[in-house]
Every structure is written in C-alpha cells, then in structure tokens.
C-alpha cells in the first residue's frame, strides 16, 4: 500500500499542520474544508510555518515547491484521487461519522481511511463504513509540524496490512510511529497525560495554586518543555474538552468528566491561543500577557 496522495478533511490547526508535514515529505495533498475563507487561512498559515522551517534548514525547500504540492477544495469527491483519506475535524463523534460516510462513498476500495481523533473510538467510526478493515487511527500531536510522534491505532476491525501501512506512512513523512494495538478510550499518550492535566485543573479550581506556578513547577521539576496549561492553550481548550467528554461517554467513569474550570472557559469561548484567551491571555501579536482572570 504505497501512499503518494493524501486527502485531508478539515483545514483547521491539525488538518493544515498534517497537510504541511505531508507536503514537506514530498506527498501530494488535497486539503478540504467547508469554504474558501477557511482554506485561504490554512494556506497562509502553512506557507508561514513551512517558510520558517525552510529558513532554519529544518526542511527542504523551496517554499513554492512545498506549497505546489497542496491543492485546496470544498469537494469531497476529490477523495477518490487519494491513497489515504484522513479526517481531521472537530472532536465530536457525529461530525466525524458524517465525514467518514462521505469518504467511504467516494474513496477507492484500496484507499486507507484514517482519523486524527485523540479519543473517539476508531472501531465506532469504522463500523459506520463499508470497509471497516481499511480504517485506522493516525493521531498526530499539536503542533503537527513540530511534534515527532504519531499514534498508529488499530481498531477492532483494522487489517494487519492496513496497520502496517499506517506505520510505514508515519515513517515516510519523517515522524516516529507509536503503535497502539487496542482501541481503548484516549489511546496511549493521552491516556497517560490526561489524568495529570485533570488533577492540575482540579487543584487550580480548589485554589491550591495558580496556573503559572503549576506550569513553572512542571517545567522546572518534571523536565517538561511546556506546562500543562501552556500546552492546553496551544492545543485548544475545546479540543481537550471534547476528548475528555469522548472518553467519559464511552467509559462512564466520572474521573474523566471535564472539571468546571475547563467547562466554563469553553462555554465562554476562551479556547486558547486561537481566540486570544484560554488559561492565559494573549496580545494581538500572540505574546502571553498573564493568566486569564475568570
């Protein structure tokens, strides 16, 4: 299963980042979303990010060649051209199921169908298609151009050749595959990291410490490059909230339910760097100003 062309459904932070990674690795990319404004913004962000990496010598140029490998469209029919169709939409089951139904209807029989979900069951998504054995998880971490790991997730129905093709694809685009052999809620890395993030939120909610001290302590005492709340703002509070809810809905274990301190921010539209306010507030140029006063 050689992958030369990738169709990506969703041109947000993750979808555009994955498109950039694939194009930098020499693959042809078709990036799809609902409207031209979203796609134009994604193209600008990709050009800026890839340009910076080329300037620093971290990826091969020229920029025109990288951008020339990325086509944008609002037409799901173009998924028929791809060897791999990857869903990178909002972390909500019904949204992802709808996208998978569209992809299943037009993708070639031999094409792989993958989801970038961080927590929703791959098996559930696969069950809604006519080719469940061709479905797998390819969970990139944010920001995709910088993070080296990609989880390759085997769903209940994923075929051995498909799982292996996912592993090879991750290597092909210059990333390191993390093999997840069972489709458990939250997969592997989030299943390990989320309990710490939840405890940090609850401690802040109790008034034990502020978010700046939590982040500083984790950087200085635990060797993290970024604190939990800094990372949360980068990923997006809505993404974290959606992933936690997905795990909670599947397990019904109350320890996974998003704490009020997270729910309130999401309800207020304070989603992190992309909205200028999340756990921290940010200036017009993206400079962090300090903790958000909730």
Measure the CA–CA gap between 13 and 145, rounded to whole angstroms: 11
List residues bridging with 150 in a β-sheet. Answer: 140, 177
- For the question of residue 181 being annotated catalytic, the response is no
Is residue 56 within 8 A of residue 82, CB to CB? The reply is no
- The set of residues, in sequence order, having a beta carbon less than 8 Å from that of 247 and lying 6+ positions away, is 119, 185, 186, 194, 253, 256
Choosing from 16, 49, 116, 190, the catalytic residue is 190
Kindly report each contact of residues 182-186 with a partner whose C-beta sits within 8 Å and lies 24 or more positions away, as own/partner: 182/154, 183/121, 183/122, 183/123, 183/137, 183/153, 183/154, 183/155, 183/156, 185/119, 185/121, 185/246, 185/247, 185/250, 185/251, 185/256, 186/118, 186/119, 186/243, 186/247
Per-residue HEC secondary structure of 63-99 comes to HHHHHHCEEEECCHHHHHHCCEEEECCCCCHHHHHHH
Choosing from 118, 121, 123, 230, the catalytic residue is 118
Measure the CA–CA gap between 32 and 293, rounded to whole angstroms: 37
- For the question of residue 193 being annotated catalytic, the response is no
Choosing from 28, 87, 91, 151, the catalytic residue is 151
- The set of residues, in sequence order, having a beta carbon less than 8 Å from that of 28 and lying 6+ positions away, is 4, 5, 6, 69, 71
- For the question of residue 45 being annotated catalytic, the response is no
Choosing from 28, 123, 139, 230, the catalytic residue is 139
Positions marked active-site: 118, 139, 151, 190
């Amino acid at each position: 299963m050689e992958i030369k062309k990738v169709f990506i459904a969703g041109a947000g932070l993750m979808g555009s980042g994955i498109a950039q990674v694939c194009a930098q690795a020499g693959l042809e990319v078709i990036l799809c979303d609902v409207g031209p404004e979203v796609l134009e913004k994604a193209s600008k962000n990709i050009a800026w990010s890839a340009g910076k990496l080329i300037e620093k010598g971290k990826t091969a140029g020229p920029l025109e060649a990288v951008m020339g490998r990325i086509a944008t469209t609002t037409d799901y029919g173009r998924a028929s051209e791809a060897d791999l169709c990857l869903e990178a939409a909002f972390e909500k089951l019904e949204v992802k199921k709808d996208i998978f139904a569209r992809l299943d209807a037009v993708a070639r029989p031999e094409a792989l169908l993958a989801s970038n979900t961080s927590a929703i069951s791959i098996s559930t998504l696969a069950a809604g298609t006519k080719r469940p054995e061709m479905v797998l998880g390819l969970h990139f971490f944010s920001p995709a151009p910088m993070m080296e790991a990609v989880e390759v997730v085997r769903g209940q129905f994923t075929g051995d050749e498909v799982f292996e093709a996912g592993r090879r694809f991750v290597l092909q685009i210059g990333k390191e595959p993390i093999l997840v052999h069972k489709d458990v809620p939250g997969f592997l890395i989030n299943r390990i990291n989320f309990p710490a993030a939840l405890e940090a939120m609850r401690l802040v909610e109790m008034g034990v410490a502020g978010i700046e001290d939590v982040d500083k302590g984790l950087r200085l005492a635990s060797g993290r490059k970024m604190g939990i709340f800094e990372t949360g703002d980068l990923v997006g509070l809505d993404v974290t909230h959606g992933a936690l809810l997905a795990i909670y809905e599947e397990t019904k274990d109350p320890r996974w339910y998003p704490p009020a301190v997270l729910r309130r921010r999401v309800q207020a539209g304070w989603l992190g760097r992309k909205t200028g306010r999340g756990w921290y507030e940010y200036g017009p140029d993206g400079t962090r100003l300090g903790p958000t006063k909730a």
